[in-house]
């Protein structure tokens, strides 16, 4: 069965401090990976939409509404959306 | 100044239950986004490496070592690495 998969990349806006990334960076240095100068950590979200007939614009608009409402804190985060069609075995649906 | 940026996508292996994704899915349904059938949540990590002279193989091998040691729990997670060269203003380095 054909479905739409939306891939959402949520990252901190430039200039926003990333304490999680800083902690990982110092941990990598402690593991002697000293060539790492900066680490930024975000979220990678995959959404499966069961309406494959949606146009790309409609699907993007829908996922954008989900991001603005729930998936991203748009005060300090920004997001990028990618869409792709995927074949999903019927049992999994 | 030219630097290497590694983008790491850490996701749960297929078949591993994603409680975080399930919670987000039901929250989206509560916001009347009922066309979402599944949500999978992973980490998106950007690493800045200050050795732009590294070959692609060496850089990938290094980032792979970082993933195996720290960035991913390889028992239940898998990861994908992408590399790109970026121009970074000297002051930021």
Q: What is the DSSP string of A31-92?
A: TT-TTEEEEEEEEEEEEEES-TTS-HHHHHHHHHHHIIIII--TTTEEEEEEEEEEE--GGG
Please determine, for the modelled complex, whether the ipTM score is greater than 0.90.
no
pLDDT of residue A44: 97
Lowest mean pLDDT among A12-21, A34-43, A79-88, B36-45: A79-88
pLDDT of residue B93: 47
pLDDT of residue B45: 97
Secondary structure letter of residue A93 according to DSSP: -
Residues of A with Cβ-Cβ distance to B21 under 8 angstroms: 45
Q: How far apart are CA B34 and CA B32, in angstroms?
A: 5
Supply the mean pLDDT for chain A.
92
Assigned architecture for domain A2-15+42-92:
2-Layer Sandwich (3.30)
Q: Looking at the predicted structure, is the pLDDT value of residue A90 above 70? A: no
Confidence of residue B90 (pLDDT cuts 50, 70, 90): low
B2-16+43-92: in CATH 1.10.260.40: no
The C-alpha angle with vertex A40 and arms to A34 and A41, in degrees rounded to 5, equals 120
pLDDT of residue A93: 47
Distance from CA of B33 to the nearest CA of A (A): 8
Confidence of residue B91 (pLDDT cuts 50, 70, 90): low
> Of the candidates B33, B44, B70, which has its C-beta nearest A66's C-beta?
B33
pLDDT of residue B89: 74
Residues of A with Cβ-Cβ distance to B47 under 8 angstroms: 36, 38-39
- Contact criterion met (CB < 8 Å) for B44 and A93: no
pLDDT of residue B79: 97
């Amino acid at each position: 069965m054909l479905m739409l998969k939306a891939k959402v990349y949520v990252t901190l806006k430039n200039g926003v401090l990333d304490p999680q990334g800083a902690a990982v960076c110092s941990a990598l240095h402690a593991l002697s990976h000293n060539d790492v100068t900066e680490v930024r950590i975000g979220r990678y979200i995959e959404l499966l939409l069961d309406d494959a007939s949606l146009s790309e614009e409609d699907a993007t608009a829908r996922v954008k509404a989900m991001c603005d409402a729930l998936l991203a804190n748009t005060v300090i985060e920004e997001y990028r959306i990618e869409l792709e069609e995927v074949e999903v075995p019927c049992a999994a649906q």
